[in-house]
Amino acid sequence: MIKSLIVALVATALIGVANAFTVDSDLPAGNVIVEKVDGDLVELKKDMRDTNDLWIYWAFRVKGAAGRTLRFKFLNGPSVGSRGAAVSTDGGRHWRWSDFETNDPRDSVLGNHASLYEFTWTFGADEGETWFCQTIPYTQGDWERFIASHEKDRGKAFETGVLCKSRKGRPVETGRFGRIDGKAKYRMLVTSRHHCAETTATFVLEGLLESVFGDDELGKWMRENIEIRAVPFADKDGVVDGDQGKNRRPHDHCRDYNDDKPSLYPEVAAIRAMMQDWAKKAGDPSIVMDIHCPWLRGSWLEKDNSNEYIYTVGIKQVEPAQRRFCESVERVQQSGLGFLASDYYAEGRGWNTGSNYKQGSTLTQWAIRTWPNAPLVIAFEIPFSNARRMTLTAPYFRKFGRDVALALRDFLEPASLTTHDYPIQNADFATSRATGGFWFDRLETNRVSTLATDWAKCAETPRIANLTNAAARALGTFGGIPFDDSDVYKVMEGTAYVLAQHPDEELARKLEWLIGEVAKAQEPDGYLYSARTLGYSLSVADKKSWSVAMMGPTRWSNLSNSHELYNQGHMIEAAVAWFETTGKTNFLDVARRSADLMCRTFGNEPTQIKSTAGHQEIELALAKLYRVTGEKKYLDLAKFFLDMRGRKDLRATWGASLQDHEPVVEQKTAIGHAVRAGYMYCGMADVAALAGDKSYQGAIDRIWEDVVGGQLYLTGGVGARHGFKHPKYGEMWEAFNGAYDLPNDSGEAYLETCAAIANMLWNDRMFRAKGDAKYVDVLERTLYNGFLSGISLSGDEFFYPNPLASKGGYKRSKWFGCSCCPVNDVRFIPQVPSMAYASKKGVVYWNLFVKGEGFVDPFHEVMTPPGGVELPPGLSLPKFVRLSQETGYPWNGTSTLVVMPITLTFRGEFALKVRIPGWARGRPVPSDLYVQTSPSSASDVSLSVNGERVDVKVGEDGYVTIDREWKTGDKVVLDLPMPVKRIRANEKVAADRGRLAVERGPIVYCAEGFDNGGKAYGASLPADATFEDTVISIGDKTFPALKASNGLKLIPYFLWGNREPGNELQTWFSLTVQ
């Protein structure tokens, strides 16, 4: 047997060179005994070290195993959690789960790592030293880095010190956070790490303390009202040495709070003395909170081991207060970890209601005996790797710490919270993913190619340099256009989304660096606009330059064109994305400072500016900021900006091109710049939902009907023309021009890719507000046609406009001077899987057909088990639904959905709404703008559940509703026939009169010169044309195509221009040969 810290050496031949690897415990909190090495199998034991029973903690490192695959097997008890092992390849700075990529970490609520005893790791070719741990560790270094990041606030918002010395003479850290002048209204003690293994608890503690430093209302409230005394390492020797800590003789640190005998451990004695002294000086504590971790993993049917979610352990005599606090956590949580107030156990759970308690009192038991009138005494149990539907990593633990902070404010000073939101929510972003097929390929291309292209181009052009130069205050160095900052922010947002699905340490570090530069570029009062910070207007000799004129001479002086608010909108969206995917507030703090400046600057007070943004975007961004902070002033400002539009009685307005011709609630048609309009309609939808404003909803309902009734292209594109003179409103560009004006040629038609994205975002909001499939129909049509056409199949070339016809010469570009489209693409595509499903209470929507999976929560409550299933006392089960889909869409119409309302044998009752696309029901769009010459019928659609046919009765909302009790593994099969369909436009559309188009399923087809002897423009089809299947090849990929009876070859519209850039294009075909 080779003891821990003794090296295990293995010699083997690898490409003819002797190769050896070592396994040891020489890392922080290392703990392993190497029993045996046999080839690629390493057998290990956890060192129990003064522990009275088997426990779960271990950590070790491997060196010299580059290029090998090793299997690690533990011999003494369960050791490996639901996501495998935690792994770090950079010395413990960043960690991931061993199963996070090699196996889908969201395969089930309990994770998919089958073995409790072993895991396998394949070492990279250049992987030098790799650390492995039972869970993501929180070390002394993490605490020191956290404190160092806030040194500027020392003495103002925190102080640190030494609580005592441990048994082995180590200093035990403590700190005071919040209001530390002795005048705090509330006093709180929070502790963690009474056992070494409970590492995730300290991440939550850090997240709670991080909230103290925020520039938002929560941070200000905490600094003004609460003093928190924190002990991050209650068992300091165990944390440093890697001792198990649990079940020590005669008892461990956690059972050392006894009234009838002195504490055995210096840390516990010091905590008790500190708290009693504080109470004498300042009064009884308001909150005592102890943060723990439970057993390694659990199954809903394994008695007393249901530990795959966050829960709280209470004390019966103070149950009402504890339940009220848990209700606060559920109400205000933003982490997405799905805490339920019902996950509260007044008498503990199984193992901590039995013999363990007889070993001695816990901190919370001692606190409630000592201060029976304390408003709140409670303990949290934070799982190691999996919380219901979320793979847990350090950012999510920290983010839940902020949830706790929000709940403390809500508990101590109950405030009225908004009761308005979208009634329907899309599937959880972090747990939705494509696992193969069409969208997996597009997502991979976006991640590997488009994202890399956008980063490279933003670096090659002055875009990133403008922000880094602003950070350095390098006056006179600005280059480009003042709105270029927004391109960088959109890339940052897309990067946050990509990292949430595909952890990448190098990319994460690059984004963290850029966040830091943006924070430094921000001026002290929150203003962030690199052109002005760098003195652009002063450094350019030509003061008549359009980009200088755009800025205006001073802040906010040319809002119609400066893009100051537009830039900030995209910065805020990026910051919210970073916060939602990591839990980190560093970027969110920048966003809040910017938004707070706007709140001070704009408004109805005499000293405030009464105006709005020329380019809409800030409105929807402020609504997002409101949703993650709960600060209503941001939503109020979003509504203020919208309410200012068209107010000729209050300000000089800018006309219909900027949707500023009349108040937004009075507008009836889509007019003017299409991207600006689309973002405005998104903001209006947000205000309608979040503020409960029916006048806003009525206005966007009218405008939506106008768009789909006369201003929507067959491809889903919007914004017909580039530059033109409107007969009523004058000069316009990139704009809606009124009903039925839908030119096709590249010289006239515009259909900007960004407008397509805005249109999809708007329709997604309309669906979430109203639950009608017609909005998803429009979204899908745009998605597969007018949006995807804007990106090459390789992901590194782009269309700005997306015309439906070209005489030749029009082709994609690598980049643009105004490059809003490529950077918009990269942030939209990662959101597609989460749009596949949605839910509201009692209802699940199946909207898009995407191979992959998603999780939805149609219940927001807990369920009771079916008859015959016995659960431990007090144990309840959460209701949620995992949806796993197989499909060949969009090339064939058969899709299979496997419904998993919970694990194993539990059931759930809810209505599944299956969308039957409009194209499958004879309605290409939800109006008479386009019709099928031989309409499809819903009667052709087949639907079954577990092999039994379901009557396809499509409701007025466009769905077939299946209301039943669902069991795990229930299989729904939808078959949508996909015959080729000829499409005719409304006779009022002059450009399409006497022509027909061709589509199959959701895909619009076109002809391009490459397949038709170089000629496609002006191509014709017989009115009764028939089609046969064929294929085209682009690179190493093959795609369906059609060959018409007159010999014309047609391909999917979104693929045109990928083989021979600049060739001819035709989408609407004349019925006579031209």
Please give the pLDDT value at position 901: 64
Please give the pLDDT value at position 544: 63
- Give the tens place of pLDDT for each residue, 961-983: 999 999 888 999 999 999 999 99
Return all residues near 986 (Cβ < 8 A) that are at least 6 apart: 710, 740, 928, 929, 930, 931
> Which amino acid makes up residue 497?
Y
CA distance 614 to 468: 26
pLDDT (average), residues 992-999: 97
CA distance 712 to 923: 14
pLDDT at 407 over 70: yes
CA distance 60 to 337: 29
Peptide bond preceding 250 in cis form (omega within 30 of 0): yes
Q: Are 213 and 150 in contact (CB under 8 A)?
A: yes
- Give the tens place of pLDDT for each residue, 110-161: 345 668 899 999 998 888 899 999 999 999 999 999 999 999 999 999 999 9
Q: Are 821 and 734 in contact (CB under 8 A)?
A: no
Task: Give the residue among 1, 76, 78 at the shortest CA–CA distance from 35.
Answer: 1
Return all residues near 127 (Cβ < 8 A) that are at least 6 apart: 65, 66, 89
3-state secondary structure (DSSP) of residue 501: helix
Please give the pLDDT value at position 2: 35
Task: Give the residue among 585, 752, 499 at the shortest CA–CA distance from 219.
Answer: 585
CA distance 65 to 75: 22
3-state secondary structure (DSSP) of residue 605: coil
Please give the pLDDT value at position 705: 98
The CB density around residue 274, as the number of other CB atoms within 10 Å, is 16
| CA–CA distances in Å: residue 94 to residues 146, 395, 494 | 14, 11, 21
Please give the pLDDT value at position 541: 65
The pLDDT-based confidence of 994 (bands split at 50, 70, 90) is very high
Average pLDDT, the chain: 88
Q: Residue 731 CA to chain centroid, in angstroms?
A: 40
Please give the pLDDT value at position 349: 54
Strands 344-345, 311-313: pairing kind: parallel
Please give the pLDDT value at position 717: 97
Strands in 129-133's sheet, in edge-to-edge order, are 10-14, 17-24, 59-63, 129-133, 86-88, 96-97
Q: Are 108 and 79 in contact (CB under 8 A)?
A: no
CA distance 630 to 772: 28
Residue listed under structure tokens 């030119």: 743
- Give the tens place of pLDDT for each residue, 819-852: 999 999 999 999 999 999 999 988 999 999 999 9
Q: Are 101 and 500 in contact (CB under 8 A)?
A: no
DSSP 284-310: S-SEEEEEE---S---TTSTT---SS-
- Give the tens place of pLDDT for each residue, 471-525: 999 999 999 999 999 999 999 999 999 998 888 889 999 999 999 999 999 999 9
Please give the pLDDT value at position 629: 84
Instruction: Compare 261 and 879 and report the one with higher pLDDT.
Output: 261
Domains and CATH numbers, the chain: 10-133 (2.60.40.3120), 153-306+315-412 (3.40.630.10), 461-644 (no CATH), 833-975 (no CATH), 981-1070 (no CATH)
Please give the pLDDT value at position 725: 86
Q: Are 44 and 34 in contact (CB under 8 A)?
A: yes
CA distance 483 to 530: 9
- Give the tens place of pLDDT for each residue, 708-748: 999 999 999 999 898 888 888 888 889 998 999 999 999 88
CA dihedral angle for residue 1017, residue 1020, residue 1025, residue 1026, rounded to 10 degrees = -30
Residues above pLDDT 70, as percent of the chain: 90
The pLDDT-based confidence of 396 (bands split at 50, 70, 90) is confident
Residues 347, 353, 358, CA angle at the centre, nearest 5°? 125
Please give the pLDDT value at position 307: 58
CA atoms within 13 A on the CB side of 355: 3
- Give the tens place of pLDDT for each residue, 566-583: 999 999 999 999 988 887
Please give the pLDDT value at position 390: 63
Whole-model pTM? 0.76
